[in-house]
Amino acid sequence: DTAVSQTPKYLVTQMGNDKSIKCEQNLGHDTMYWYKQDSKKFLKIMFSYNNKELIINETVPNRFSPKSPDKAHLNLHINSLELGDSAVYFCASRETETQYFGPGTRLLVL
């Protein structure tokens, strides 16, 4: 009965590769997010979708492309991975004021 799930949990890859992270929520929420948390624990929003529509797009390189096939899913594709992309990526969904975070995907770019 996981509320917000992400796959994979860990991702180790080489520079220049393309990778995807998937997120699913079974809470029936309309709004979903992608956050990036760097090594200093700073959590920064990247994207937000409401009912499959992009509503927030922070200053993120266009190598990052979110896709929402339906309101329960929000995936993140990253092209040409760079060392600086190493971080933990959290998906979240929102009901009223409360955001529920997924377990995170730990990405390490070598």
Partner 1 sequence: QKEVEQNSGPLSVPEGAIASLNCTYSDRVSQSFFWYRQYSGKSPELIMSIYSNGDKEDGRFTAQLNKASQYVSLLIRDSQPSDSATYLCAVTRTSGSRLTFGEGTQLTVNP
The residues of the shown chain that bind partner 1, judged by CB under 8 A, are 31, 33, 40-45, 48, 56, 90, 94, 96-99, 101-104
Q: Give 68-79 as a DSSP string.
A: EEETTEEEEEE-
Closest CB to partner 1 among 13 and 103? Answer: 103
CA–CA distance, 95 with 12 (Å, rounded to integer): 32
Closest CB to partner 1 among 67 and 94? Answer: 94
Query: Minimum distance from CB of 1 to partner 1 (Å)?
Result: 16
CA–CA distance, 97 with 58 (Å, rounded to integer): 20
Query: Minimum distance from CB of 3 to partner 1 (Å)?
Result: 11
Closest CB to partner 1 among 10 and 14? Answer: 10
CB 93 within 8 A of CB 32: yes
**Cis status, amide bond into 8, omega within 30 of 0:** yes
Closest CB to partner 1 among 13 and 100? Answer: 100
Query: Minimum distance from CB of 63 to partner 1 (Å)?
Result: 21
CA angle 53, 57, 61 (to 5 degrees): 130
Lookup: tokens for 14? 């080489």
Query: Minimum distance from CB of 101 to partner 1 (Å)?
Result: 4
